[in-house]
Structure 1
């Protein structure tokens, strides 16, 4: 049912083929008749404001004058009583579509709007590809991210782009998690051979004799870190978590493809990496996952990358690993006035040796913030622990929202000062609209709590404290080919759909609770 249902929605409305020009890219998928509660036109003022608030520095496939048409056709709608959350939600969709680029091979998604000397063809950079897939999985029209992935893996005369491995990657995991949203098994399995080859290439390039993977911090996209260096071959929590997740995804793809031998092959690989990460990267004194140096000794410094294992649910449950999350609440750890730092603040080397252009020695980076918040949502959903709670998640999401302003206007850039909130590259044109993180995926899967699943049940677990908001609504979510609506109405007087938390599939209620708690449809 699933992909056929999606295609039926697509076929009902005009969708343009790859390679069309900018003026032709505004006719997208529309499912407005399936919405239950919210009306798109009530949110058009956000796009109008964003269009007016500053110059359009660079126009690509969907220019500003077509922004709202694209948004109306492609995005879930969101409403809440906290204005900055709502404004930032629409700003991040508005800024995301700026990066959709027309190429001779189809659509591509850029990281910077301005050209970068180290980019591949079409100004593509692989560092945030996983983020792009996670964020675009909620866009109704699949062509943008699908054509982008196709360019990355087949755009070099049928082979991967030359600079695909310039940065670490969790692409196989991201593609599987996209499948959990759209259930397009045909597309996923079409890329299964590419992902198998990609995994083998990473093993050839970066695997140590003990089975762990090494990486330079710059090729993790995290240069000038406290634990690494541009030429140091350390075993970092980043690439090892990514390779664990890619192996898990490939195990599942192999099973879907009927290849039991390959499924067992990748299961063994993921289990080996998991054990090595727990045994070798866990610092028992610091109670944290830390980088292992070339000399096989711990770097003895806590960095935000130590939370990444939970992004993929790698750490075993009930073995004490969750103690690491105490550091997100500790002002000597990662808790700062404007968000989560990239290194612990107690370190004498904190913010000590950045280059002035890329400083991962403590400053706040949205790339890392979105990884940590995805990981925290997994801890709150999948681990029985009392170290962090909904209040902690909401606090950090609130700081993430507050940090994304510059000179009084919504802004997303490279990195910022943890105490002042000042964007350290904010006056450089390259930094504006930096597409290097997720935000709306966090809003959907974390804050509102729609948890993608492989089965046909709908699971919703909002990470909003019970008395924080009296109402909110996420509507027009294209999920498994259906339109999902999630409503919280404390009194029942806001939306007139009943009191409490209610979940609708194509307008029909499928789950409900009087409280903000996990609900699962039958």
Structure 2
């Protein structure tokens, strides 16, 4: 056999192996649910489609909603009907915001046009929420193209209003990577995020190293600690910049750039120290806004929980005492959820209604941030202040709050004692895409904790005597399909008693009780 023929033979063999690998990966990522029957949940979509008019149709209209959901979402089954209904409603409403632009998919916040939006009616305020929620959608292009649009959609440059709002996008993209392991996309976007970080430093960093922000550009106008034009150092933007620096340091390590990894890690360490020393109010035992005069605002607001969204506070230093306010009725615990300012404040709900007040009313934006933070506390911090019953209680209130006139609804903000949606009759408020919900079900309630290695960690935050069974199925994670179930008697799913985790149909972890498990 000639050398040429041998070369051709080896080339053909190489191509065959590569093609087989591609087909194998494709087959693996196209698994359907292992336990649940997708058609059992179609009735939710049929109801949502007919419960009210389709006010605005974008890339995936109502008549295509079920087809889209069949292809893209994990399935959830539980004995509490409103949890299950709200889970499917939030996926159904989320896809309403997918918009097709000449430059790829975008994800909107409002369906109706807003004067302060960027091109294609995009608004950057909830971009971090969008990434966290969409990371569980099987087709990654919706989130990927949306982020690409924000950073390169203005003739190859960032959109003009990317910096209209504070952002935790690098952190969110790294956490998306922990789900889909798409390193190539993450590294491709890395230079854009490095440049973006530098721009934030130029625009918003104070001489002491903290960052300042107007309340309105944190997406939290009319707060008790500041104002629309006040340059305060807030727990929000400072926690975001800490998390972004940590994420960029990790990305630099992935690239093999140890110098940049150290550069961003030092920035994160500096911000951590500043937040713990300058934003922590020792007397109030809470992270609070620092005013332009470098004094504490002396009011507890829900933004004081945000440092835990990014696992920022040091462990065993007493910071967890802040979570006493989470369940205090004079703090943040109200009949219809978590308030955005402490209820004991004499200025609580003092700014009127209808002008986007963050003076105490319940905002899903803040609720989803606080519940993400609480899940981190329960998973990562030794403490005895809060437990999984506190998480479940507030998730239950979050579900109950998302109804308006008897129908599933997600809007802007609501009265903390009546549950009435304060902008509920305004068309702009309908389907407001400004929070997460299904990410909380997946990572908090059911407890799948994304990680960089190939171990599967699940720590459910459901008190064991609350539900006798539940199942989260068809979860696309690291290219595999996961199934997580709890079956107290073994008679619901016929997979045996207890708590079980399956990868592509094979059991990889289990426990007799509803407790944390990690696969080998």
Same fold, TM-score > 0.5, yes or no: yes
Q: Which residue of 78, 83, 86 maps to 2:84?
A: 86
The residue aligned with 1:335 is: 333
Q: For residues 314-463 of structure 1, what are the structure 2 equivalents within 5 Å?
A: 314-354=312-352, 356-463=354-461
Alpha carbons 1:224, 1:355 under 8 Å: kept? no
* 1:451 match: secondary structure: coil
Pair 1:91–1:186, CA change in 2 (3 A): same
The residue aligned with 2:259 is: 261
The residue aligned with 1:53 is: 51
Please give the alpha-carbon distance, in whole angstroms, between the structure 2 residues aligned to 1:300 and 1:388: 24
Please give the alpha-carbon distance, in whole angstroms, between the structure 2 residues aligned to 1:54 and 1:359: 28
Alpha carbons 2:25, 2:479 under 8 Å: kept? no
CA RMSD in angstroms, aligned pairs only: 1.4
Pair 1:164–1:8, CA change in 2 (3 A): farther
The residue aligned with 1:243 is: 241
Please give the alpha-carbon distance, in whole angstroms, between the structure 2 residues aligned to 1:446 and 1:103: 33
Show CA shifts across 1:144-167 (max 9, x none). 111100100000000000000000
Pair 1:135–1:300, CA change in 2 (3 A): same
Tell me by how many angstroms 1:6 deviates: 11
In structure 2, stretches of 5+ residues that fail to align are 1-18
Tell me by how many angstroms 1:318 deviates: 0.1
Please give the alpha-carbon distance, in whole angstroms, between the structure 2 residues aligned to 1:426 and 1:6: 51
Q: TM-score, normalised by structure 1?
A: 0.95
Alpha carbons 1:31, 1:73 under 8 Å: kept? no
The residue aligned with 2:168 is: 170
The residue aligned with 1:197 is: 195
Q: Which residue of 56, 64, 67 maps to 1:66?
A: 64
Pair 1:129–1:93, CA change in 2 (3 A): same
Show CA shifts across 1:392-416 (max 9, x none). 0000000000000000000000000
Pair 1:507–1:123, CA change in 2 (3 A): same
Please give the alpha-carbon distance, in whole angstroms, between the structure 2 residues aligned to 1:116 and 1:512: 49
* 1:487 match: secondary structure: strand
Alignment partner of 1:126 is 2:120: no
Please give the alpha-carbon distance, in whole angstroms, between the structure 2 residues aligned to 1:239 and 1:5: 47
Please give the alpha-carbon distance, in whole angstroms, between the structure 2 residues aligned to 1:8 and 1:190: 25
The residue aligned with 1:44 is: 42
Please give the alpha-carbon distance, in whole angstroms, between the structure 2 residues aligned to 1:6 and 1:408: 50
Tell me by how many angstroms 1:31 deviates: 3.0
Tell me by how many angstroms 1:355 deviates: 5.7
Please give the alpha-carbon distance, in whole angstroms, between the structure 1 residues aligned to 2:292 and 2:55: 44
Please give the alpha-carbon distance, in whole angstroms, between the structure 2 residues aligned to 1:228 and 1:198: 26
Tell me by how many angstroms 1:334 deviates: 0.2
Please give the alpha-carbon distance, in whole angstroms, between the structure 1 residues aligned to 2:249 and 2:224: 34
The residue aligned with 1:286 is: 284
The residue aligned with 2:231 is: 233
In structure 1, stretches of 5+ residues that fail to align are 14-28
Tell me by how many angstroms 1:353 deviates: 1.5
Q: Looking at CA atoms only, which structure, 1 or 2, has the larger radius of gyration?
A: 2
Show CA shifts across 1:39-94 (max 9, x none). 11110111000001000000000000000000000000000000000000000000
Q: TM-score, normalised by structure 2?
A: 0.95
Pair 1:113–1:424, CA change in 2 (3 A): same
Please give the alpha-carbon distance, in whole angstroms, between the structure 1 residues aligned to 2:31 and 2:356: 42
* 2:264 match: secondary structure: helix
The residue aligned with 1:482 is: 480
The residue aligned with 1:519 is: 517
Pair 1:217–1:36, CA change in 2 (3 A): same
Q: Which residue of 103, 106, 109 maps to 2:107?
A: 109
Structure 1 residue ranges, 4+ long, deviating more than 6 angstroms after superposition: 4-7
Please give the alpha-carbon distance, in whole angstroms, between the structure 2 residues aligned to 1:99 and 1:90: 15
Pair 1:517–1:12, CA change in 2 (3 A): closer
Please give the alpha-carbon distance, in whole angstroms, between the structure 1 residues aligned to 2:27 and 2:393: 42
The residue aligned with 1:21 is: none
Q: Which residue of 214, 218, 226 maps to 2:216?
A: 218
The residue aligned with 1:31 is: 31
Please give the alpha-carbon distance, in whole angstroms, between the structure 1 residues aligned to 2:202 and 2:50: 50
Tell me by how many angstroms 1:8 deviates: 5.1
* 2:500 match: secondary structure: strand
Pair 1:7–1:451, CA change in 2 (3 A): farther
The residue aligned with 1:25 is: none
Tell me by how many angstroms 1:357 deviates: 2.4
Alpha carbons 1:354, 1:360 under 8 Å: kept? no
Alpha carbons 1:5, 1:481 under 8 Å: kept? no
Tell me by how many angstroms 1:228 deviates: 1.0
Please give the alpha-carbon distance, in whole angstroms, between the structure 1 residues aligned to 2:429 and 2:461: 31
Please give the alpha-carbon distance, in whole angstroms, between the structure 2 residues aligned to 1:222 and 1:207: 19
Please give the alpha-carbon distance, in whole angstroms, between the structure 2 residues aligned to 1:5 and 1:310: 44
